[in-house]
Amino acid sequence: DIQMTQSPSSLSASVGDRVTITCQASQDISNYLSWYQQKPGKTPKLLIYDASNLETGVPSRFSGSGSGTDFTFTISSLQPEDIATYYCQQYDNLPYTFGPGTKLEIK
């Protein structure tokens, strides 16, 4: 199975800050990586697919990059509504696997 790691596990930042989360796969997954946002008590929401493609309707302050084993998720200017846990997920091979999540808080 492909293992996914994320760092940091939690993050506190101020409104307007640039926030970066990294995700690493245990083997090459090309660009078969997605990012999800899950607000407390809510359903996960797709933000990014194929490592860097923004899902329709998602604000442009969210972006993703990377390929192979190393990936980055960025919020260019943190907004209060971005408080959530963020997960990466690989879909190169079954079983699909998620990262453990990064909990983002406002400072």
Partner 1 sequence: EVQLVESGGGLVQPGGSLRLSCAASGFTVSSNYMSWVRQAPGKGLEWVSVIYSGGSTYYADSVKGRFTISRDNSKNTLYLQMNSLRAEDTAVYYCARARPYFDLWGRGTLVTVSS
Binding site for partner 1 (CB under 8 A): 32, 34, 36, 38, 43-46, 49-50, 55, 87, 89, 91, 94-101
Cβ distance to partner 1 smaller for residue 35 or 82: 35
Is 69 in contact with 59 (CB distance < 8 Å)?
no
Shortest distance in whole angstroms from residue 61 CB to partner 1 = 20
Shortest distance in whole angstroms from residue 94 CB to partner 1 = 5
Distance of CA 83 to the CA centre of its chain: 13
**Concatenated DSSP letters for 83-98?**
-EEEEEEE-SSSSPEE
Largest CA distance in the chain: 38
Cβ distance to partner 1 smaller for residue 4 or 19: 4
Shortest distance in whole angstroms from residue 52 CB to partner 1 = 12
Distance CA 11, CA 56 (A): 26
Cβ distance to partner 1 smaller for residue 17 or 53: 53
Tokens, residue 57 = 């309707």
Shortest distance in whole angstroms from residue 10 CB to partner 1 = 13
List the one residue out of 15, 31, 101 whose CA is nearest residue 64. Answer: 31
Cβ distance to partner 1 smaller for residue 61 or 103: 103
